[in-house]
Amino acid sequence: MEKRRIGSLEASVVGLGCNNFGRRLDLDATSAVVDAALDVGITFFDTADTYGGTRSEEYLGRALGRRREDVVVATKFGSRLDEQRRGARPEYVHRAVEDSLRRLGTDRIDLYQLHTPDFDVPIGETLGALDELVRAGKVREVGCSNFSVDQLREAEEATREGAARFVSVQNEYSLLHREPEGDVLPECESLGLAFIPYFPLANGLLTGKYRRGKDAPAESRLDSVRGERLLTDRNLDVVERLIGFSEGQGHTILELAFSWLLRRPAVASVKAVLPRI
C-alpha cells in the first residue's frame, strides 16, 4: 500500500480509526480487525484516550503485540475523561502521555495529537510540554485536531525555533463536508502540515447503505440527532448521484469517497472504521 509522510513518519494512505475498540468491539473482535487491517497493508492506527472509555488504547496495544514496531500508532489527549483528566495544561500533558503509554503497552507514541483546542491554556505552553515529550523520546511527532486556520497560525507562531511543532491536523472532511477547502487545507499546504480527515464517509452516508426511499439498516449507528442532520433530502440526492457516477465507472461510492480525498495534496491518510469482521 502507498505511504505518505506525516512529519518524519510514513503512514499508509488508508488508516484504521480505532474509536469502536472497547465500545462496540471487545478484545477478540479488536484483534480480528487489527489482523485484517495488517493483512491488507494498513500501518496507520489512530486512537484516543477517550475512545471506549480508555479501552481502545489498551485493546489496540494488546492486539498489535510484537507487531508494534511495524506500524505507526497515533493517539490523542485533551478531551474530557473526568474533571481532573482533561485539557492541555502542561502538567496534564505529562500525565496523559504516561497513561496512554501504559495502556498501549509501548515506550513511545508515534503521533501524539491534541484532540481539541483548550481555550484556557496558551498554545505555546502546551507546545512546550509536547516538545519535552519529544526530547525525552516518549513521542515522535505531535499534531492537533479540530483546529481552525487561525489556531494553526497561532500555534506556528508560538513554536520556538528548533522545538517540536504540529506536523498534522485532523478535522472533519468528506465529499459532503467541504469546509476545510476554504482555509485549513490551503494553510496545510502552505505550512507543510499533513491533513488527516475524520468522518471521511460522513457517518456511513458515503457507503451507500443509506438510500432515498429505503429504511436505514438495522445495525445503523446514526442516532436521531445525527440522522436528522445527515439524512436530508439534499444529502440523499447527492448520494444517489454519486452512486450512479461511481457505478458507471465500475467502482463503489466508498471507493470514490476515499480516492477523492486522497487526490488532495495535503491529505496524508484516510481512516477506515471497521465495526466488526
List active site positions: 51
**Cell numbers that stand for 117 in this block:** 483546542
Cell of 210: 443509506
Taking the C-alpha atoms of residue 107 and residue 2, their distance in angstroms, rounded to an integer, is 27
Phi-psi category of residue 252: left, alpha or beta, with phi > 0 → left and psi -120 to 50 → alpha: beta
The upper half-sphere exposure of residue 8, i.e. CA atoms within 13 Å in the direction of its Cβ, equals 8
Give the Cα separation of 93 and 80 in Å (integer).
13
Cα angle 110-115-117, degrees, rounded to a multiple of 5: 130
Query: Quick check: 173 and 269 in contact, CB under 8 A?
Result: no
Among candidate residues 199, 206, 202, 193, the one with its CA nearest the CA of residue 265: 193
Residue 129 and residue 117: Cα distance in Å, rounded?
Answer: 15
Q: What is the CB-side half-sphere exposure of residue 130 using CA atoms within 13 A? A: 30
Which three cell numbers, joined as nine digits, stand for 51? 475512545
What is d(CA 59, CA 64) in angstroms, rounded to the nearest whole number?
9
